[in-house]
């Protein structure tokens, strides 16, 4: 019957907690009361019950923020009990929820918590990474009071890190910086101030400034005031005991140590127990109680083994997995970012290419237009050469006498011979003989009834080019004329056009075409088509 009553009381009490939590969890003020009482008071006296309350808070939470807070309450409790693996697991789950809801405040808090866990595991690189994440999240928060509060916690974490590194002066500077931020925030939570003063006391203890350390510990006890017994109070009293041990004040040391032991025995906080056992060994060493010293050492070793087992298990089984997951997420994010940048570059490249292409097209069309205008204006560019007759001979004679200054007169050639060669060339230009692939300087000299020397002289002097370029120009002008006047030629391949006018290869034809028109054959045909369509309209 008594057992039934005992079990019923437990069930009834749990139901009350759940119902109270359901009503209160959605109200920030009421939720904070449950959270604080569970974390500071209940966890000290009944750890399993505290965990159940935290789980209940999560099950009835209706918003991401309350879910995250309940998960972080569980994580904090599990961290105290030494179950690092579960503590970080809860924190990572909370982090995922906060990421989905884009809750910057809790992003910062969770990153700070993870920084602490990895620091305690001596994984300082991971710890620094989470501190950096906390700072980055804090930069995006708009509420200055929350920024100040978060920065205060960051400074506290940095102080703990420097304490681990045995740089006590630097640790003190971070504690004071944390206090400055809390003052800016208007912080009134006595637990936070007690934590700061406990940290200052511990640093000054290690610096052997015992009176200063004792002063800060006394302030910490005043901060805690009428709060229920908790692990912070135990740490403060333990710190005072260590100072009296250092001062060899056995009476005061025993009084404080006994009180700290009582609080530690009630707690599931493994690190706290280890600290108390460490101080106990210092005390028993002072009073030379070897048996008690050995007994306490065994107890501490047992606690340390448990902490290290949990830590080692986590490091070997979980950290590598978490780091891999984080790396995978990072790589996936990097891939997405790379894909986005590639897409942007392609778009930008496409736009640039489009404008450059349009500009090139415009330039090409201007070149085409200029060429066509010059062809109309300049006889040299017009393939329609007037027939050779007597009426034009005077015209030719006039032109022949207007040779450019500086052209060296071939004294072996008479003006009559020059005229005859020029008339023959005119006849040659009106023919299609230049389209033959076999045409050569000797062939044309034979056609003009002269020798190659005279012919070269006349071509160079009057046509202002060498034989090869002279023939190429005739061929290109001929094919342009065909393209202009016969649309059928637009359908021919470039190689066919090249073959028709006697070029041995398409590349030579294209090079000669570009030299004369500044356009490739295909570009010229494209603009010619556009021009023809425009005129047709």
CATH of the domain at 511: 1.10.10.60
Residue 521: exposure state from Cβ atoms within 10 A (0-12, 13-18, ≥19): buried
Average pLDDT, the chain: 78
Residue 21 has pLDDT above 50, yes or no: no
pLDDT of res. 204: 94
Q: Predicted confidence band at 513 (pLDDT cuts at 50, 70, 90)? A: very high
Whether the CB-CB separation of 91 and 134 falls below 8 Å is answered with no
Pick the more confident residue, 32 or 20: 32
| CA–CA gap between residue 123 and residue 117 (Å, rounded) | 9
Q: Name which of 104-118, 265-279, 515-529 the model is least confident about.
A: 104-118
Q: Name which of 229-233, 273-277, 286-290 the model is least confident about.
A: 229-233
pLDDT of res. 364: 62
Q: How many helices (H) and strands (E) does the chain have?
A: 25, 0
pLDDT of res. 213: 93
Cβ contacts of 466 within 8 Å, gap of 6 or more: 456, 459, 460
Pick the more confident residue, 342 or 533: 342
Dump pLDDT digits (tens) for 369-386.
566 656 544 444 333 333
Q: Predicted confidence band at 39 (pLDDT cuts at 50, 70, 90)? A: confident
Residue 84 has pLDDT above 80, yes or no: no
Secondary structure (H, E, C), 160-212: HHHHHCCCHHHHHHHHHHHHHHHHHHCCCCHHHHHHHHHHHHHHHHHCCCHHH
Percentage of the chain surpassing pLDDT 70?
78
Residue 320 in any domain: the answer is: no
Residue 115 in any domain: the answer is: no
Dump pLDDT digits (tens) for 347-358.
876 676 666 655
Specify the DSSP element, H or E, that contains 145.
helix 144-164
Residue 31 has pLDDT above 90, yes or no: no
As given in the structure block, the two tokens for residue 530 are 């556009």
Whether the CB-CB separation of 283 and 254 falls below 8 Å is answered with yes
Rounded average pLDDT over 172-199:
90
Highest mean pLDDT among 124-133, 270-279, 523-532: 270-279
Q: Name which of 179-188, 274-283, 350-359 the model is least confident about.
A: 350-359
Whether the CB-CB separation of 69 and 62 falls below 8 Å is answered with no
Residue 450 in any domain: the answer is: yes
pLDDT of res. 231: 82
Rounded average pLDDT over 1-19:
42
Rounded average pLDDT over 21-25:
47
Residue 390 in any domain: the answer is: yes
Q: Predicted confidence band at 498 (pLDDT cuts at 50, 70, 90)? A: very high
Residue 510 in any domain: the answer is: yes
Dump pLDDT digits (tens) for 308-364.
776 665 665 555 555 556 566 566 767 777 878 787 777 876 676 666 655 665 666
pLDDT of res. 395: 38
Rounded average pLDDT over 484-499:
90
Highest mean pLDDT among 267-276, 369-378, 463-472: 463-472
Percentage of the chain surpassing pLDDT 90?
30
Residue 343 in any domain: the answer is: no
- The backbone torsions φ and ψ at residue 463, rounded to the nearest 5 degrees and listed phi first, read -95, -10
Pick the more confident residue, 296 or 348: 296
Residue 536 has pLDDT above 60, yes or no: no
Residue 386 in any domain: the answer is: yes
Rounded average pLDDT over 489-518:
92
Residue 346 in any domain: the answer is: no
| CA–CA gap between residue 296 and residue 279 (Å, rounded) | 10
Q: What is the DSSP letter of 439?
A: -
Q: How many residues does the chain have?
A: 537
Highest mean pLDDT among 63-67, 371-375, 455-459: 455-459
Q: What is the DSSP letter of 384?
A: -
pLDDT of res. 225: 86
Domain count, the chain: 1
Residue 41 has pLDDT above 50, yes or no: yes
Whether the CB-CB separation of 38 and 53 falls below 8 Å is answered with yes
Q: Where are the alpha helices (DSSP H) in 287-432?
A: 290-314, 320-377, 390-401, 415-430
Torsion angle, alpha carbons of 400, 405, 407, 408, to 10: 100
Q: Predicted confidence band at 392 (pLDDT cuts at 50, 70, 90)? A: very low
pLDDT of res. 456: 93
Owning domain of residue 506:
380-402+412-536
pLDDT of res. 367: 60
């Amino acid at each position: 019957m008594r057992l039934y009553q005992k079990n019923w009381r437990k069930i009834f009490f749990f139901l009350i907690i759940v119902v109270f939590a359901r009503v209160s969890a959605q109200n920030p003020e009421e939720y904070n009361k449950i959270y604080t009482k569970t974390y500071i008071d209940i966890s000290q006296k009944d750890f399993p019950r505290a965990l159940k309350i935290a789980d209940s808070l999560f099950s009835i939470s209706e918003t991401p923020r309350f879910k995250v807070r309940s998960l972080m309450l569980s994580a904090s409790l599990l961290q105290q009990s030494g179950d690092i693996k579960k503590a970080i697991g809860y924190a990572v789950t909370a982090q995922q929820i906060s990421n989905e809801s884009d809750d910057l405040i809790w992003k910062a808090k969770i990153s700070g918590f993870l920084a602490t866990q990895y620091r305690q595991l001596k994984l300082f690189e991971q710890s620094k990474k989470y501190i950096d994440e906390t700072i980055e999240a804090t930069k995006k928060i708009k509420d200055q009071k929350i920024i100040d509060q978060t920065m205060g916690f960051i400074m506290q974490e940095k102080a703990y890190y420097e304490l681990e590194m045995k740089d006590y002066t630097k640790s003190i500077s971070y504690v004071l910086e944390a206090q400055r931020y809390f003052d800016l925030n208007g912080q009134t939570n006595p637990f936070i101030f007690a934590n700061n003063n406990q940290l200052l006391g511990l640093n000054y203890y290690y610096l052997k400034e015992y009176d200063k350390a004792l002063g800060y510990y006394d302030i910490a006890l005043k901060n805690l005031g009428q709060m229920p017994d908790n692990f912070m109070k135990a740490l403060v009293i333990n710190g005072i005991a260590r100072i009296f041990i250092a001062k060899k004040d056995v009476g005061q040391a025993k009084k404080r140590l006994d009180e700290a032991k009582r609080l530690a025995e009630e707690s599931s906080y493994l690190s706290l127990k280890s600290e108390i056992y460490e101080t106990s060994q210092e005390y028993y060493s002072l009073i030379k109680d070897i048996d008690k010293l050995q007994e306490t050492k065994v107890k501490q070793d047992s606690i340390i083994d448990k902490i290290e087992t949990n830590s080692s298990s986590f490091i070997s089984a979980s950290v590598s997995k978490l780091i891999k997951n984080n790396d995978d997420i990072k790589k996936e994010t990097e891939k997405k970012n790379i894909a986005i940048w590639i897409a942007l570059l392609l778009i930008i490249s496409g736009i640039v290419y489009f404008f450059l292409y349009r500009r090139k097209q415009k330039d090409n069309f201007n070149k085409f237009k200029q060429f066509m205008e010059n062809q109309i204006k300049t006889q040299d560019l017009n393939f329609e050469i007037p027939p050779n007759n007597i009426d034009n001979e005077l015209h030719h004679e006039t032109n022949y006498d207007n040779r450019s200054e500086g052209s060296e007169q071939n004294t072996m050639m008479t003006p009559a011979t020059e005229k005859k060669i020029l008339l023959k060339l005119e006849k040659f230009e009106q023919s299609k003989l230049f389209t033959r692939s076999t045409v050569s300087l000797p062939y044309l000299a034979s056609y003009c009834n002269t020798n190659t020397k005279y012919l070269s002289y006349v071509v160079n002097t009057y046509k202002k080019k060498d034989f090869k370029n002279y023939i190429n120009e005739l061929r290109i002008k001929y094919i342009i004329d065909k393209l202009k006047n016969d649309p059928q030629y637009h359908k021919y391949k470039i190689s066919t056009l090249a073959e028709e006018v006697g070029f041995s290869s398409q590349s030579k034809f294209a090079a000669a075409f570009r030299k004369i028109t500044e356009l490739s054959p295909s570009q010229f045909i494209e603009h010619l088509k556009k021009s023809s369509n425009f005129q047709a309209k």
